[in-house]
């Protein structure tokens, strides 16, 4: 027994030492870069400004981004950008909360679209508009439908960066097998329902599926012209109430409920990889994905893959999609030359050449449509004609409050409420009831956020 105790003691000492070194490592990390900055500023090349850029891109996104940053650094000798991966969008936002508004904050932070309202309210940031005005930057060269999302009260607060929209991806071979025209994917809810029924082979293949994720619900509401919250989708003032449990939202829930009850809907949960694997192994014939997932779906599926617009309710006209993804925010309270460096970098990012590389490297949209005329993009589109559908869907979107997307600061919480509502729906609960519960939960979150706002 004594031996055990001694061993335990030694282990605990080792663990605590490891823990402490891990902590100190984290804390001391920024110092060397600061030192470098100072040294560089005074000795090596006077005037060279170094800034940090926090992002949440992993995998192919990170590779593409690192290449772009390296190109920028070697393209001029005034600024150096350090791209630092900070974990998921949620994680990097949590980190930003601890340094936001101080001089330790990174000059540029990538924040997901639903964090827009939070960032504006936070007081951490310098609106992009002030630099656009100062520099007479021509915004008209950027994609109008993307700018619409990030423009609040006519002011652009952040620079759009990686943007994606939802699409419906389908298995062309399965369409042929079921005697359907693979070039004519279903357009409306009823058409999807009918097609799903034909595609379903009990025990083998489901007709339709959708990731249990709030974003897709938001999109299916927006494409009917429905709003998510009151106060003109939160753009006329602080929203006080969720309205997504109205008729548009109910139509979406009924649509999913009917297919689920008919056994033509496959539920693959909340994990992107699970639903993609289900599609690629032929377990489901149509599903909703992000436009950024198109390339992977085409490459990894052993059959021909088609991409279509997201479906809309039969009773209404198609309005289009709201933008998803993330944008870049400039910090307030940092040195002026750092802000300038950040601005230069953002301008570089929006050039057609860089956007072309970004688009084909990741599948995200080019925020500068001129990029689509670049040769590398044309070559890529020839290889993947499916990419063009995603761009068409975005460019055919009718600008409105609905397709502009909602602005609330408690979006992550609201999305959770929707996820729970969908899960309960798939278990057989009443559509209106679960929607109302989700709205109630969202209302409470909004109420607290409004109450505690300074």
Binding-site ranges for another protein (CB under 8 A): 1, 4, 90, 94, 97, 100, 118, 121-122, 212, 267-271, 274, 277-278, 281, 283, 409-410, 412-413, 416, 419-420, 423-424, 426-427, 445, 448-449, 451-454
Give least dist CB 406 to another protein, A. Answer: 17
State the alpha helices, DSSP H only, in 189-267. 189-199, 214-222, 230-234, 247-262
87 and 129 in contact (C-beta within 8 Å)? no
58: closest CA among 87, 93, 99, 101?
Answer: 87
Would you list the DSSP string of 311-342? Answer: PB-TTS-------EEEEEEEESSS-HHHHHHH
- The residue among 89 and 175 lying less far from another protein, judged by its C-beta, is 89
Distance CA 110, CA 83 (A): 11
Per-residue CA distances from 354 to 110, 220, 367 (Å)? 17, 31, 10
Beta strand residue intervals within 303-451, DSSP E: 305-308, 324-331
Residue 342 in tokens: 């950040």
* Residue 287 DSSP label: E
Neighbours of 423 (CB within 10 A): 15
- The residue among 41 and 87 lying less far from another protein, judged by its C-beta, is 87
- The residue among 257 and 403 lying less far from another protein, judged by its C-beta, is 257
141 and 273 in contact (C-beta within 8 Å)? no
- The residue among 90 and 392 lying less far from another protein, judged by its C-beta, is 90
Three-state DSSP class for residue 84: strand
- The residue among 81 and 305 lying less far from another protein, judged by its C-beta, is 305
Cβ-based neighbours of 211, under 8 Å, separated by 6 or more? 268, 269, 270, 271, 272, 275, 287, 288, 289
Give least dist CB 174 to another protein, A. Answer: 15
Residue 305 in tokens: 């893959």
Residue 90 in tokens: 């949620």
Would you list the DSSP string of 349-387? Answer: HTSHHHHHHHHHHH-PPPSSGGGGGSHHHHHHHHH-THH
Per-residue CA distances from 260 to 14, 114, 166, 257, 429 (Å)? 53, 29, 21, 5, 11
Measured over the CA atoms of residue 445, residue 446, residue 450 and residue 454, the dihedral's sign is positive
Give least dist CB 444 to another protein, A. Answer: 9
- The residue among 136 and 452 lying less far from another protein, judged by its C-beta, is 452
Give least dist CB 273 to another protein, A. Answer: 9
Per-residue CA distances from 107 to 12, 82, 98, 102, 393 (Å)? 40, 10, 15, 11, 33
- The residue among 90 and 382 lying less far from another protein, judged by its C-beta, is 90
Q: What is the distance in angstroms between the CA of the first residue and the CA of the last residue of the chain?
A: 58
Would you list the DSSP string of 115-137? Answer: GHHHHHHHT-EE-HHHHHHHHT-
- The residue among 100 and 352 lying less far from another protein, judged by its C-beta, is 100
Distance CA 110, CA 115 (A): 10
Three-state DSSP class for residue 90: helix
Residue 310 in tokens: 């997201």
- The residue among 391 and 419 lying less far from another protein, judged by its C-beta, is 419
């Amino acid at each position: 027994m004594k031996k055990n105790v001694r061993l335990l003691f030694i282990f605990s000492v080792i663990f605590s030492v490891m823990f402490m070194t891990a902590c100190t490592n984290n804390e001391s990390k920024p110092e060397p870069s600061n030192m470098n900055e100072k040294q560089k500023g005074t000795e090596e090349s006077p005037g060279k400004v170094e800034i940090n850029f926090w992002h949440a891109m992993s995998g192919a996104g990170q590779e593409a981004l690192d290449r772009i940053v390296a190109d920028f650094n070697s393209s001029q000798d005034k600024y150096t950008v350090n791209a630092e991966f900070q974990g998921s969008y949620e994680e990097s936002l949590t980190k930003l909360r601890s340094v936001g508004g101080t001089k330790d904050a990174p000059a540029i932070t990538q924040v997901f679209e639903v964090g827009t309202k939070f960032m504006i309210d936070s007081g951490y940031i310098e609106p992009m508009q002030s630099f656009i005005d100062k520099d007479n930057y021509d915004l008209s060269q950027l994609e109008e439908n993307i700018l619409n999302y990030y423009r609040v009260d006519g002011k652009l607060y952040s620079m759009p960066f990686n943007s994606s929209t939802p699409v419906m991806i389908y298995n062309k071979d399965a369409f042929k097998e079921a005697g359907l025209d693979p070039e004519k994917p279903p357009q409306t809810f009823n058409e999807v329902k009918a097609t799903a029924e034909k595609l379903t082979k009990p025990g083998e293949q489901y007709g339709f599926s959708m990731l249990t994720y709030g974003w897709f619900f938001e999109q299916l509401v927006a494409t009917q012209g429905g709003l998510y919250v009151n106060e003109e989708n939160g753009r006329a003032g602080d929203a006080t109430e969720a309205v997504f449990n109205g008729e548009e939202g109910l139509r979406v829930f009924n649509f999913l409920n009917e297919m689920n009850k008919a056994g033509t809907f496959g539920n693959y949960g909340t994990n992107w990889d699970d639903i993609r694997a289900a599609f690629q192994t032929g377990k489901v014939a149509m599903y909703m994905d992000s436009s950024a997932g198109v390339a992977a779906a085409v490459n990894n599926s052993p059959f021909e893959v088609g991409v279509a617009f997201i479906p809309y309710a039969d009773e209404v006209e198609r309005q289009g999609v709201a933008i998803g993804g993330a944008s870049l925010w400039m910090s307030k309270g940092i040195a002026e030359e750092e802000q300038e460096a950040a601005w230069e970098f953002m301008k570089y990012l929006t050039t057609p050449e860089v956007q072309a590389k970004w688009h084909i490297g990741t599948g995200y949209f080019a925020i500068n449509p001129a990029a689509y005329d670049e040769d590398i993009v044309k070559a890529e589109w020839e290889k993947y004609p499916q990419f063009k559908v995603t761009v068409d869907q975005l460019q055919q979107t009718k600008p409105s409050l609905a397709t502009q997307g909602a602005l609330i600061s408690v979006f992550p919480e609201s999305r959770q409420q929707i996820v729970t509502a969908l899960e309960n729906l798939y278990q057989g609960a009443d559509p209106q009831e679960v929607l109302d519960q989700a709205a109630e939960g969202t209302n409470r979150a909004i109420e607290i956020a409004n109450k505690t706002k300074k």
